[in-house]
Amino acid sequence: MNRRHFLSVAGLGALATATGFPVFAAETITPLNLSDAEWKKRLPPASYTVLRQGGTEYAGTSPLVNEHRKGVFACLGCDLPLFSSDKKYDSHTGWPSFFDVMKDHIRTQSDHKLAFEDRTEYHCARCGGHQGHVFPDGPPPTGLRYCNNGVALKFIPA
Ligand SMILES: [Zn+2]
């Protein structure tokens, strides 16, 4: 088989797949990769510190702690929806807290920066921005507490 023949057969195969069987792929999230300088220009300083440097805001400083309307909490860096308002609860910690995330929109990794506790850090799945930490002391049904920095989020009312 010469190269030309091979290519035309491969082309026919792709066509048959495209027309014959619909493919239901998992949601694809297009990554947003910006340089550090671009992030600095795009984000308010407090949000840059949290999202791009893994900082933590002071407890009780975010207006989102007392945000009780229906809607969506999205990443301030890239607008990807991360939490639904019906998964928010009052943890009395001073940080916006959620017991569940929007599936596949959050990525976790272990964070051993603090020697006295093992925390799991989580990030926005699109821009990699640091959002907060998840702890195993949340309410049912998940038993999880996603402790989020308010400056890393934007609230979009329903
Ligand atoms: Zn993001």
> What's the gap in Å between 33 CA and the centre of ligand 1?
10
Task: Give every CB contact of residue 45 below 8 A, 6+ residues apart in sequence.
Answer: none
What the chain holds in terms of domains, given with CATH numbers, is 23-157 (2.170.150.20)
The predicted model scores a pTM of 0.80
> What's the gap in Å between 21 CA and the centre of ligand 1?
33
The candidate with the shortest Cα–Cα distance to 78, out of 126, 27, 39, is: 126
Catalytic residues, by residue number, are 147
In angstroms, the CA 61 to CA 33 distance is: 29
> What's the gap in Å between 60 CA and the centre of ligand 1?
23
Length of the chain: 158
Task: Give pLDDT tens digits along the chain (158 positions).
Answer: 444 444 444 444 444 444 444 455 557 889 999 999 999 999 999 999 999 999 999 999 999 999 999 999 999 999 999 999 999 999 999 999 999 999 999 998 776 666 666 789 999 999 999 999 999 999 999 999 999 999 999 999 99
Task: Return the bridge partners of 132, or none.
Answer: 122, 148
The candidate with the shortest Cα–Cα distance to 148, out of 128, 113, 124, 117, is: 124
